[in-house]
């Protein structure tokens, strides 16, 4: 059996769900545009540059979850899925996921974006497992803080290892281990698998992939 791991943002999605969630909340008037838009853009630029302080970002990103009832958050998320996420999912991404699922592989999305935002997206793809940053809850309400280690950079390795341990497995349990990602932030996990695939990569990852002979593919074209 193979292990197949997918990054989500700018990999399976033609866009970034974390960034778009904040932009959506601004658009519907939940967050103040003047206060939040510049910070959201700044954090996104830091992520692309590889300088993001994940804990500072999570303080920003998770705080709105603590201010509203879960039913209201779920209603906003359903609208967010329709308006922002479904247009980001192309046929090539769906086909690639379906091919791996059909092969009998153990398939998961591994993403730094929190599980409230990404859980419905994983279900839309039919992917049964999600390894994501977890927003903490108390009595069914979000606290505005993460629970445990964020699934970011080397944290993705730790979170994947813990997930596999919970299934009675480890990285060595598989015939082949795949990881698809667009981002140089994912180099720690890409270096842990025997089939690293660069998907529409950022310039740094593209350079590393070319140097190391890793496949580079695009999910933005129906030709894939």
Is 223 within a domain? no
13-69 pLDDT, tens digit per residue, is 999 999 999 999 999 999 999 888 899 899 999 998 999 999 899 898 899 899 999
Q: Which candidate in 7, 16, 186, 200 is catalytic?
A: 7
Establish whether 9 is a catalytic residue: yes
Q: Which candidate in 9, 16, 182, 200 is catalytic?
A: 9
99-151 pLDDT, tens digit per residue, is 999 999 999 999 999 999 999 999 999 999 999 999 999 988 999 999 999 99
199-208 pLDDT, tens digit per residue, is 999 999 999 9
Domain interval for residue 58? 2-217
Is 186 within a domain? yes
Is 190 within a domain? yes
What's the pLDDT band for 173 if we cut at 50, 70, 90? very high
Domains contained in the chain, number: 1
User: What's the whole-model pTM score?
Assistant: 0.94
> DSSP characters for the chain?
-EEEEE-IIIIIBSS-HHHHHHHHHHHTTSS-HHHHHHHHHHHHHHHHHT---HHHHHHHHHGGGGGS-HHHHHHHHHHHIIIIIGGGB-HHHHHHHHHHHHTT-EEEEEEEEEHHHHHHHHHHHT--EEEEEEEEEETTEEEEEEESS-SSTHHHHHHHHHHHHHTT--GGGSSEEEEEES-GGGHHHHTTSSEEEEES--HHHHHHHHHHT--EE-SSSTT-
Is 224 within a domain? no
Is 80 within a domain? yes
Is 59 within a domain? yes
CATH number for the domain spanning 78: value is 3.40.50.1000
Is 222 within a domain? no
């Amino acid at each position: 059996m193979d292990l197949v791991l997918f990054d989500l943002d700018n990999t399976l999605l033609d866009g970034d769900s974390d960034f778009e969630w904040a932009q959506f909340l601004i658009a519907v008037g939940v967050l103040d545009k003047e206060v939040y838009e510049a910070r959201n853009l700044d954090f996104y630029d830091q992520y692309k540059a590889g300088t993001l302080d994940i804990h500072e970002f999570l303080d920003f990103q998770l705080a709105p979850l603590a201010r509203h009832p879960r039913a209201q958050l779920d209603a906003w998320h359903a609208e967010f899925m329709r308006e922002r996420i479904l247009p980001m999912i192309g046929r090539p991404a769906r086909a690639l996921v379906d091919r791996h699922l059909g092969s009998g592989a153990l398939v998961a999305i591994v993403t730094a974006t929190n599980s409230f935002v990404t859980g419905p997206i994983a279900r839309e793809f039919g992917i049964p497992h999600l390894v994501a940053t977890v927003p903490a809850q108390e009595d069914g309400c979000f606290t505005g803080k993460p629970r445990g280690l964020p699934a970011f950079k080397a944290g993705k390795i730790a979170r994947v290892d813990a997930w596999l341990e919970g299934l009675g497995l480890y990285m060595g349990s598989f015939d082949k281990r795949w990881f698809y990602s667009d981002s140089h932030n994912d180099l720690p996990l890409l270096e842990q698998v025997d089939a690293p695939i660069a998907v529409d990569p950022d310039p740094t990852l593209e350079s590393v992939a070319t140097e190391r002979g890793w496949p580079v593919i695009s999910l933005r074209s129906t030709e894939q």
